[in-house]
A and B are shown apart, each in its own frame.
Chain A
Amino acid sequence: MIPEIGYFALVLAMALSLLLCIFPLWGAHTGNLRLMRAAPSLAVGQCVFVLFSFAILIYITLADDFTVAYVAHHSSSTLPWYYKVTSTWGGHEGAILLWLVMQSSWTALVALMSKSIPWVLRARVLGVLGFLGVGFMLYTLWMSSPFERLLPYYPVEGRDLNPLLQDPGMIIHPPLLYMGYVGLSVSFSFAIAALLTGKLDNTWAKWSRPWTMVAWGFLTLGITIGSWWAYSELGWGGWWFWDPVENASLMPWLVATALLHSLAVTEKRGVFKSWTVLLAITAFSLCLLGTFIVRSGIIVSVHAFATDPDRGLYILLFLAVVVGGSLALYAARVSQVRSEGRYQFFSREVALWVNNIFLVVATLVVFLGTLLPMIHKELGLGSISIGVPFFNQMFSILIVPFALLLGIAPMLRWKQNKLPPLAKKWLVILMATITITAAWLFGSFETVAPLTFVASALAVWIMLSTAVDFAQKVSTQQRLSEGLKRLGLSYWAMVLGHVGIAFVIAGVTITSAYSVERSVRMQPGDTASLNEYEYRFEGVKEIVGPNYTGHAGVVTVLKNNEKVTELHAEKRLYNIGMQFMTEAAVDDGFFRDLYLALGEQLGGGAWSLRIYHKPYVRWMWLGGLLIAFAGFIVLADKRYRKSPSKGNQQEATS
């Protein structure tokens, strides 16, 4: 009975969503304020029912109700309670319900926090969000209900959650990613509402900016955590694989990054209007496309999701309606848009425009690398495979001009600049960059390849030029505290974001260039050395977990004959699926990770072990966290809570 209540709650939510889609849009079209006023309460109402339905799914999972197919396939009675909760989004049906939870919550939030927006725009934004809600709810109810029963023959025990997903990183990775994806639907709705209204002025950009920033922050966080999870759980020390599913999350991130910068220009200067709208549409379209790629199984991926052509067809149809519809609307309205601002070539506008070009090219690279094999085959040209080298090469080429520009662009003013004074400053920074990079690399490592030097210099360049710009902005006032106070929150966000990128570049470069690994066969008492560390294999002990058994290889790590740490690299056998899982042991540090994975038992008490030394690998995730934090900072910005009539009183810093 209880699962049916969950299903019924979703039906009610969909009915409310349908009304949310129809009433406000119709009201905005006919100028009927009463219809428009219905939007916020409908938005909150549908959210309540979706949350209720999700709570029921959690309840039946905790109660081990294996008559429900979803619970029987993705949970088991021996699973710890917290993994039972996360198993509600470990499978397809539950993941889509989680998506709905996010979608309806964002919709409700927009309804509650948009009181100062004119009714016509507010009603349209909510109406578009309602339409998206209906699309996903119909999909859930029709094709992928997590409440389906296995009656009358149901198992007494569930099939357990995929052991790969039994990890703290996996508890938060999907919700964060979905927060980002769905958050971009808010930017999308603002863009569509603006197109429908026919008023592409900077008002919509101003309203859409904080939502976009936050969604982008979540997306960044989701990708970062996903990378960290892969590193700690997959057992071979990789952190990014250019797998289609990863690419599916990277593409919206790249476009959303472009969108953030473009929104800034549109808000401050009233230019790039139609381009910004197109980016907002594209960012969310890529989220939908990513979902389609992941869920339809048209591309081979390491992420084995259940695939089903019917479901794929529905998502494709939905994609076609949403994206095709909005691009058609875009085509119809774009010719009416006129730019207001004037600017010269050497200006912040152009710098941000070039930044957008780089980000869009990077997106295209990922897009082609992901989809070209399929298109190639559909054209009858045979199977091809595009792998890691392609992406790595393209990105290492693109990053150079991108990072150079990233360093100097914040120092440019709007409209126009004089080159000579700036050029002098840049030259000084460049010299300092080369000196510092040389001191850093030659001081820490024995050999330095030219490419490693260039890439590391890019990180230093960004750091230094951001620091110089920061110092100059602060020093405009006589007192330091005054100077700091005058910096807007969006300036702080920019600084954090750019420093974060510098950390990511440094981390990726150093860890790619200087990571070393060794595969060794060890008997208890044997030692192996890697870089300045000695690894002494103490032996293997049995371990028993709640739903697995296994072995832990105990290794003492020594440096100059002093004990640094003791690592326990585990190999687990999960009881129900009889799957082996590697749980790598990591000693993390700011400057290096020691990473140990236990391999096969080789007979005679010997085991195979893989030892990795990964310098600076943390910097990547630290950078990711900084970037994400940059996205969340704007939440504190009072500027976005004021009514539009008061305008921008604060200094424009973007």
Chain B
Amino acid sequence: MNRKLLGLIPFLIFILLCVFLYQGLFGNPRELQTGRLGQQMPSFTLPDLMSDSKQWQESDLLGEVYLLNVWGTWCPTCVAELSYLTELREQGVRIIGLYYEQGYDPDFGDQFDINKLRAEVNAMLARTGNPYQFNILDLKRTLALDLGVSGAPETFLVDKQGKILLHHTGDINQRVWRAKFAPKLMELTQ
């Protein structure tokens, strides 16, 4: 009898494994359950992308609901979502850009050319439309790291008190917007 039960163990373990594999099949492995949800925006002091004199802090963003969109001109998916984000801005959604620079690598003693980057960004936004109120430049990726950003594009929904309500990995399109962001935004404005 004991031997029989022992022989069944591999079978039972396998059945359990199958249940998990089946569930996993319908989950998206790239979707992150971020630890930042429900928490405050991390504190930061970072320069504006377009102006040398302006510095932004987390307190400057309080008071209104906004989207924080992590992007870069080097990222094709980010570029693809710019025109949809511009439509959203026209509907009154407040979008703040967190510019994530990729080409800069201090290991090689690279000279970072801010004017070249500004020209690139301006040219890009002139083509696709500009969804952003302003852009924060996160050259050393400190804020991105604090937010748990794993790549670009990623978008956070933040409320008036600076609390992070959503973290979306990947592009925003009409489908994602309607399914994920619009309902949350409705809740907040009511």
Residues of A participating in the B interface, judged by any CB pair closer than 8 Å: 274, 278, 281-282, 285, 292, 296-300, 309, 312-313, 316, 319-320, 323-324, 327-328, 330-335, 371, 374-375, 377-378, 382-383, 519-521, 599-600, 602, 608
Closest CB in chain A relative to B17 CB, distance in Å = 8
A335 contacts which chain B residues (CB < 8 A)? 3-4, 7
Contact B29–A331 (Cβ < 8 Å): no
Q: Assuming A300-B30, A319-B18, A378-B20, what are 10 further A-B pairs, CB within 8 angstroms? A: A292-B21, A309-B26, A331-B7, A331-B10, A334-B4, A374-B29, A375-B20, A382-B33, A382-B35, A383-B33
Partner of B107, one of A278, A297, A324, A519: A519
For A377, the chain B residues whose CB sits under 8 A away are 27, 33
Q: A298-B27, A298-B29, A378-B23 are in contact. Are A316 and B18 (CB under 8 A)?
A: yes
Give Cα distance in the complex from A297 to B110, angstroms: 38
Evaluate contact between A320 and B18: CB separation under 8 angstroms.
yes
Give bound CA distance, A600 to B107, whole Å.
Answer: 12
DSSP class of B's interface residues: helix, strand, loop or mixed? helix
Asked if residues A374 and B24 are in contact (CB atoms below 8 Å), the reply is yes
Chain B positions near chain A (C-beta within 8 angstroms): 3-4, 6-8, 10-11, 14-15, 17-18, 20-27, 29-30, 32-35, 103, 105, 107-110
- Shortest distance from the beta carbon of A201 to any chain B beta carbon, whole Å: 18
Cβ-neighbour of B11 out of A298, A319, A331, A382 (below 8 A): A331
Smallest CB gap from B103: residue in A = A600
B10 and A330 contacting across the interface, CB-CB below 8 Å: yes
Closest to A367 in B: B17
Q: For the complex formed, measure the closest distance between the CB of A601 and the CB atoms of chain B, giving whole angstroms.
A: 11
Task: Report 28 cross-chain contacts, Cβ distance below 8 Å, ordered by A residue.
Answer: A281-B10, A292-B21, A297-B29, A298-B27, A300-B29, A309-B25, A316-B18, A316-B22, A316-B25, A324-B18, A327-B10, A330-B10, A331-B4, A331-B11, A334-B3, A334-B7, A371-B17, A374-B20, A375-B24, A378-B23, A378-B24, A382-B33, A383-B33, A519-B108, A521-B108, A600-B103, A602-B108, A602-B110
Name the CB-closest residue of A to B28: A297
CB distance from A262 to the nearest CB of B (A): 15
Which B residue's beta carbon lies closest to that of A379?
Answer: B20
The distance from the CB of B16 to the nearest CB of chain A, in whole angstroms, is 10
Q: How far is the CB of B18 from chain A (nearest CB, A)?
A: 5
Chain B residues, CB < 8 A from A375: 20, 24
Question: B18 contacts which chain A residues (CB < 8 A)?
Answer: 316, 319-320, 324
Contact check, B25 vs A330: say whether CB atoms are below 8 A apart: no
- What are the 5 tightest A-B residue pairs by CB atom distance, in nearest-first order? A334-B7, A327-B11, A298-B24, A331-B7, A335-B3
Question: Across the interface, which residues of B come within 8 angstroms of A327, CB to CB?
Answer: 10-11, 14
Tell which of B8, B34, B108 has the most Cβ of chain A within 10 Å: B108
A296 vs chain B, min Cβ distance (A): 6
A63–B109 alpha-carbon span in the complex (Å): 50
Q: What chain A residues lie within 8 Å of B21 (beta carbons)? A: 292, 298, 316, 319
- Whether B25 lies near A298 (C-beta < 8 A) is yes
Residue numbers in B under 8 Å from A281 (CB-CB): 10
Cβ–Cβ < 8 Å partners of A383 in chain B: 32-34
In the complex the two chains form, is A324's CB within 8 Å of B4's CB?
Answer: no
Q: Which residue of B lies closest to A521 (CB)?
A: B108
Measured CA separation A608–B11 after assembly (Å): 55
Nearest Cβ in chain A — how far from B147, in angstroms? 15
Which residues on the A side are within 8 Å of B24 (C-beta)?
298-299, 374-375, 378
CB distance from B107 to the nearest CB of A (A): 5
A323 CA / B15 CA spacing, docked (Å):
10
* Chain B positions within 8 Å of A332 at CB level: 7
Q: Which residues of B contact A608 (CB under 8 A)?
A: 105, 108
* Inter-chain contacts of B26 with A (CB < 8 A): 309
Considering the chains assembled together, what is the distance between the CA atoms of A285 and B107 in angstroms?
Answer: 46
Q: Which residue of A lies closest to B113 (CB)?
A: A603
A316 and chain B: residue at smallest CB distance: B21
CA distance A323 to B22 in the complex (A): 15
Instruction: Report the nearest B residue to A244, measured CB to CB.
Output: B29
Docked CA distance A292–B25 (Å): 10
B contact residues around A298 at 8 Å (CB): 21, 24-25, 27, 29
**A296 and B25 alpha carbons, distance in the complex (Å):** 7
C-alpha gap A599/B107 in the complex (Å): 12
Complex Cα distance, B27 from A299, in Å, reads: 10
A316-B18, A316-B22, A320-B18 given; A378·B27 CB < 8 A:
yes
In the complex, chain A residues whose CB is within 8 Å of the CB of B14: 285, 323-324, 327
Nearest chain B CB to A516 CB, angstrom units: 15
Kindly provide the distance from the CB of B160 to the nearest chain A CB, expressed in whole angstroms.
Answer: 27
The answer to whether B7 and A274 touch across the interface, beta carbons within 8 angstroms, is yes
The answer to whether B25 and A313 have CB atoms under 8 Å apart is yes
Which residues on B sit within 8 Å (CB–CB) of A282? 10
- Cα–Cα, bound, A324→B21 (Å): 14
Measured in the bound complex, the distance between the Cα atoms of B8 and A327 in whole Å is 8
For the complex, what is the distance from the CA of A333 to the CA of B30, rounded to whole Å? 42
How far apart are the CA atoms of A60 and B114 in the complex, in Å?
52
The one of A274, A297, A324, A520 in contact with B15, judged by C-beta atoms closer than 8 angstroms, is A324
Please give me the residue from chain A that is nearest to B13 by CB atom: A327
Instruction: Report the separation of the CA atoms of residues A300 and B21 in the bound assembly, to the nearest whole angstrom.
Output: 14
B35 touches A330 (CB 8 A): no
A335-B4, A519-B107 are contacts. A312–B33 as well, Cβ < 8 Å? no
Cα A577 to Cα B74 in complex, Å, equals 17
* Inter-subunit contact B25/A312 (CB<8 Å): yes
Known: A296-B25, A298-B27, A377-B27. A330 touches B11 (CB 8 A): yes
Q: Which residues of B contact A371 (CB under 8 A)?
A: 17, 20
Which residues does chain A contribute within 8 Å of B107, judged by CB atoms? 519
Q: How far is the CB of A564 from chain B (nearest CB, A)?
A: 25
Q: Would A278 and B10 be within 8 Å (CB), given that A519-B107, A608-B108 are in contact? A: yes
- A299 closest partner in B (C-beta): B29
CB distance from A197 to the nearest CB of B (A): 17
B7-A330 in contact (CB<8A): yes
Docked pose: A371 CA to B29 CA in angstroms? 11
